[in-house]
A and B are shown apart, each in its own frame.
Chain A
Amino acid sequence: MGNVVVSALRIQDLTKFYGRQAGIVGLDLDVSAGEVFGFLGPNGSGKTTTIRLLLGLISPTRGRAVALGHDVVADGPRARALMGYLPGDLATYDRMRGHQFLAYLGHLRGGVAPARYRELAERLNVDLDRHLRELSKGNRQKIGVIQAFMHDPPLLVLDEPTTGLDPLVQEQFAELVRETVARGATVFLSSHVLSEVENLADRVGILNEGHLLLVDSVDGLRERAPRRIEMDFPATPPDALTAADGVTSIRTRGATAYCLVRGGIGPLLKTAVDHGVVDVHTHDPDLEDVFREYTAGGSR
């Protein structure tokens, strides 16, 4: 018997119109329990609309979403009890001190042990005794990270969470996400840059102008990505390279051929070897290229 795959988040035909303007249209998506799903799209593509729908902050025009068995509209508070939410620019009650703020949110969640958020604060190196208005944007965002993780939610909904965090803290944040997933949590992570999610996500969906264009594993996306290969020949590179399977374009300069290949590079290498290739340099596929290809003509 194989693994039983269970949806932690099941989204069906989720649609939101603001007047005539579409926020998100007919979104169908299943995120499995224990998965990190990267939700990618340029600004204004519907990421935040989707996330605010999941949290019940706005109500759908049609369609539904079920989080860990709880309909986010009909059973909102219970669905949200299982979620941790972090927006990119967290607004806080700035007259409160960090620990008061976290205690208040913890209270509304039914109680969170102070030891838990103090431990996270120590780890992220943020002072909980300061008033929130005195904190830098980055430190306030750390408070946001703490409130999203402190109750060990089985589903994390993160909307461009690392905006405003410096690279070191971004790495700590990624570590926190990995630990949480190792514990069995599911993560729904939005971003407008692929590099932010590719190291964390199992699968990514690419969203543009309210439509989900593509869902694939990060590896699958790499397959789709054109790979750059440079090959040195004893003399002018042979024309036969152009005919090899998967080659999308070739430029030559002197004895070197610069190729773009989609899918496997086997056929090209075989042809190259047959023509006495001297040296081969390959480069990692650039996922940003795939992302750009799918979202070209977007609002960016």
Chain B
Amino acid sequence: MALRLWASSAANALRVSTAATASRPAFSLLRSFSTAVEGLKYATSHEWVKHEGSVATVGITDHAQDHLGEVVYVELPDVGKTATQGTGFGSVESVKATSDVNSPISGEIIEINSKLTENPGLINSGPYEDGWMIKVKPSNPSELGSLMDAKQYTKFCEEEDASH
């Protein structure tokens, strides 16, 4: 990610496109090699959920953190609030943008990752580990059936990047 950021800055300074091929739009991202972890479920809006019994842990994927850039601020909800599948529960700030983070599962928010307040970069360095965002008590575990597994999500990301 650091190498691509440098390349992008250099290209901007030289006022040339970062496009890999002549046919790629001038504003498109270079393709990255993001990872998806087995055993997790994934939303098309690039969040993951790990369901363990009565607790579901949620965060954003490696693909998302790579495309967003360095995360400098995280806004999380209060414990006790309700998360709804497909709806925003918080946001991350990166570069000059705030980006909504949507919950892949519905339920009561029972814990938030307070470490992200002082160390938002955990989302970049460990999107599936220390960079988790909220823990939810699922109200409808069958919602997990509508999400992608790791293989499906990887293919989804490849197709999404290829189409832009």
Bind each other: no
Binding site for A on B (CB under 8 A): none
Binding site for B on A (CB under 8 A): none
